[in-house]
Amino acid sequence: MPGSVAADRHSDEVTALAAQYARLPAGTPVRLAKPTSNLFRFRTPATGPGLDVGRFNRVLEVDSANHRAHVQGMATYEGIVDALLPSGHIPLVVPQLRTITLGGAVAGLGIEATSFRSGLPHESVRELEILTGDGQVVVARPDGEHAELFRGFPNSYGTLGYALRLEIELEQVRPYVRLHHVRFGSAQECAAAIAEICRDRSFDGHPVDFLDGTVFDAREQYLTLGSYVDEAPFASDYTGQRIYYRSLRQRQVDYLTIHDYLWRWDTDWFWCSRALGVQHPLVRRLWPKKYRRSDVYRRIVAWDRRHALTDRLAVLRGRGVHEPVIQDVEIPVDRLPEFLEFLHRQTGISPVWLCPVRLRDRKGWPLYPMDPDTLYVNVGFWATVPLRPGEAPGRHNRAIERKVSELDGHKSLYSNSYFEEDEFWRRYNRPAYERLKQRYDPEGRLPGLYEKCVAEK
């Protein structure tokens, strides 16, 4: 990054953070002191001092001519978009929730409706500055001394180190997105259309810049095809009384500003706000607009999980407990109908989100080893499923994990996982991870990947 006031300030912040890390006594658990999280592994909060990374939240430099930006690791995508849109740019992939951080999307993966053409967020990273587990600050690039760390950082979830600065690619945007919601009566038809659209990057002669889908049931699924346009006859607003996911059934063609398109899912946390009553017309009118955000809803859910209020009320009402089933999985497109049929039968969750993705980089990423020749569909489902008397929590999640493995799919690790250790490492490349752990955190100051994502409850 060229010298500048922002670069000098960042350098001073890095020096201070490395010094703070060095002062932590050996054996002290390391945690990040930051205001937001999009993880769904609700565990006993760590005690003791945390690394003050909250200051690493800025866009440091925008190179519009070369479509690049230098961004600090704790910058949220909301802040990044606000900084970039005035120059007509966005990151190649903007995950759908405002407070996801750039560093989090790279270390823990992310996805959105440009992923069928732009891959995953880490694939548009050109350089990573990382505070590693051994307390060093290194700059990792696709080649050079730390190339293996560059490849292995995605899906490491802070167990190798923390991203302090990233150089990312940008794309030029246009003012509006035209949406075309296309209904399909079967998963087979929907999967075939996904494959065709991703191959041609067009539909009925119109270019497709964005592609995702919503499944309401086995006979009602929609693909939403987005295209950049310079002008729009109208622009819908789904931050007030109207709810975006319901509009898929109500109108075939819609228009959003690019800003509102990027955050179309955030106002109602996809459709999860309904569990909190926010979609009830009276509650919605009384619920302040500034609090209709995914991060607010998540804090409410985290509080409920800590105190088990919902489960206690369910037991008092004789309804039994529910198991949280919060997962994102990548399924090969030709196996998608089989997985959706299983998911409907196993859980009954509705709606379900679909998001096609194909890797841009043919070398692949060792800790999340997707096949670059395969088109996958991310299937996202976020709800609770009732347990029958005597059933242990985890039954539904474990069945889903087994099915994903059977279909040569992959499961994101941001939520609770139930893999046995040997199975986990078969899926997530133990040899590659252990080489990186030995080199960049030989004393084990940071937790291991299995311990952090599975074993810690």
Question: What is the rounded average pLDDT for all residues in the chain?
Answer: 93
Whether 12 shows a pLDDT value over 80: the answer reads yes
Is 439 within the bounds of a domain?
A: no
Is 61 within the bounds of a domain?
A: yes
What average pLDDT does this structure show over 182-208?
Answer: 97
Residue 318, both tokens: 């004789």
What average pLDDT does this structure show over 72-85?
Answer: 97
Cα distance between residue 247 and residue 239, in whole Å: 13
% of the chain residues with pLDDT over 90: 82
What average pLDDT does this structure show over 281-309?
Answer: 89
Q: Are residues 129 and 234 in the same domain?
A: no
Is 241 within the bounds of a domain?
A: yes
Q: Are residues 161 and 39 in the same domain?
A: yes
Whether 261 shows a pLDDT value over 80: the answer reads yes
Q: Are residues 169 and 92 in the same domain?
A: yes
Whether 446 shows a pLDDT value over 80: the answer reads yes
Q: Are residues 101 and 250 in the same domain?
A: no
Given 235, 264, 293, the domain boundary residue is: 264
Q: Are residues 76 and 190 in the same domain?
A: no
Is 167 within the bounds of a domain?
A: yes
Whether 236 shows a pLDDT value over 60: the answer reads yes
pLDDT for 457 equals 55
> CATH no. for residue 134?
3.30.465.10
pLDDT in tens, 167-179: 999 999 999 999 9
Cα distance between residue 416 and residue 97, in whole Å: 19
Cα diameter, the chain: 65
Whether 33 shows a pLDDT value over 80: the answer reads no
Is 35 within the bounds of a domain?
A: yes
Given 264, 285, 311, the domain boundary residue is: 264
Given 241, 264, 287, the domain boundary residue is: 264
Structural domains of the chain, count:
2
Q: Are residues 157 and 238 in the same domain?
A: no
Nearest CA among 321, 336, 347, 328 for reference residue 399: 347
Whether 141 shows a pLDDT value over 80: the answer reads yes
Q: Are residues 240 and 162 in the same domain?
A: no
* Per-residue confidence band for 2, with pLDDT thresholds at 50, 70 and 90: low
* Per-residue confidence band for 281, with pLDDT thresholds at 50, 70 and 90: very high
pLDDT for 296 equals 95
Q: Are residues 9 and 98 in the same domain?
A: yes
Domain that holds residue 36: 5-173
Cα distance between residue 427 and residue 436, in whole Å: 17
What average pLDDT does this structure show over 285-309?
Answer: 88
Cα distance between residue 7 and residue 165, in whole Å: 10
pLDDT for 42 equals 59
pLDDT for 123 equals 97
What average pLDDT does this structure show over 30-40?
Answer: 71
Strands 352-357 and 376-386: antiparallel
Q: How much is the pTM?
A: 0.94
Whether 423 shows a pLDDT value over 90: the answer reads yes
- Only one residue has tokens 């979830």, namely 157
Q: Are residues 260 and 129 in the same domain?
A: no
Q: Are residues 111 and 16 in the same domain?
A: yes
Q: Are residues 157 and 259 in the same domain?
A: no
Q: Are residues 64 and 119 in the same domain?
A: yes
Is 165 within the bounds of a domain?
A: yes
What average pLDDT does this structure show over 293-297?
Answer: 94
Cα distance between residue 9 and residue 394, in whole Å: 46
